[in-house]
Amino acid sequence: MVTELSGPAAVFTRQLVSVSFRVANLGLAPMTNAIKQRVWLAPEPFPGDFVGRICFYSGQEGIPPGFSFQQSVSVFMPLEPGLYWLVVVADADNAAVEIDKNNNTMLGNQLVQVVEEYTATVATDVTTALAGTPVPMPGR
């Protein structure tokens, strides 16, 4: 199961950021199959409604009961600005033999605000002009 998840609170579109998570074996037997973790962004806080996988990590096998491992992965943020939930799925391919698979997904406890990398604002006092008339457009 995913026991910890952390990532950025505000980022630019297409920015490379670090996401960290911890996967633990809280069962009574060792994990014998290799499990894959996936990192997603979701526009709503409901697992299954994902906009796209932003990272894939092929993970660990042979994790004894009570042990865990920490991962930090670098992922690119999406092109579309907006508010997203960060989601990690511990056993994305359902490879682990376990009784309860409902604890394999963790939703971040904060929204990630993805904003456009560059914006510009310009203004002018000219409302009508003949073709070829210079139009000053101060901006920031």
Q: pLDDT by residue (tens digit) across 20-58?
A: 999 988 888 888 888 888 888 888 776 555 556 676 766
Q: Please report the pLDDT score of residue 50 as a whole number.
A: 59
For the chain, what is the mean pLDDT? 85
> Residue 38 in contact with residue 48, Cβ under 8 Å?
no
Stated pTM of the model: 0.75
**Residue recorded with tokens 């210079």:** 134
pLDDT at residue number 34:
83
Q: What is the mean pLDDT of each run of 10 residues along the chain (140 residues)?
A: 92 92 88 84 69 67 87 88 90 80 83 87 88 87
Q: How many CA atoms lie within 13 A of 26 on its CB side?
A: 12
Domain range 2-115, CATH architecture: Sandwich (2.60)
